């Protein structure tokens, strides 16, 4: 799941993303784990980080139980589902080879376009 890290707007795509995330979390079970993440541009290139800061705002009661926004590890058959198409960031990540890296690691990539 791709979330907007640097914005606290509660309108438009962010509202859709939150609603979708909440429903996916409700559906998660032992076979499906939903981890909210965001795309982060770092000195070494692009990575995905856990969106724990976002989750603390969404569910304040979990704050003592979650950590900082760590880089995530990819596993074969993981699904990267992006509900937000920040064109400049997505295009730059593609040019840098980030999505090719995910595909080479057998991560499924899906974008939702509204």
Going residue by residue through the chain (114 aa), what tens digit of pLDDT does each one get? Answer: 555 555 555 667 778 888 888 888 888 887 888 888 988 999 989 999 988 888 887 777 776 677 888 999 989 999 999 876 667 888 899 999 999 999 999 999 998 877
Task: Find the domain containing 60 and state its range.
Answer: 12-111
Is 3 inside a domain boundary?
A: no
Burial 35-71 (b: 16+ CB within 10 A, else e): ebbbbeeeeeebbbbbbbbbbeeeeeeeeeeeeebee
Q: Domain total for the chain?
A: 1
Q: What is the pLDDT of residue 13?
A: 73
Is 93 inside a domain boundary?
A: yes
Cα–Cα distances (Å) from 73 to 24, 87, 105, 114, in that order, read 20, 24, 11, 28
């Amino acid at each position: 799941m791709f979330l907007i890290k640097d914005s606290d707007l509660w309108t438009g795509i962010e509202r859709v993303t939150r609603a979708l995330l909440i429903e996916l979390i409700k559906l998660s079970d032992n076979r499906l784990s939903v981890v909210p993440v965001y795309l982060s541009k770092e000195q070494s290139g692009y990575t995905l980080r856990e969106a724990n800061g976002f989750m603390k705002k969404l569910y304040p009661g979990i704050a003592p139980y979650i950590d900082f926004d760590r880089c995530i590890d990819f596993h074969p058959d993981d699904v990267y589902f992006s509900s937000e198409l920040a064109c400049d960031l997505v295009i730059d990540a593609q040019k840098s080879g980030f999505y090719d890296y995910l595909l080479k690691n057998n991560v499924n990539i899906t974008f939702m376009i509204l």
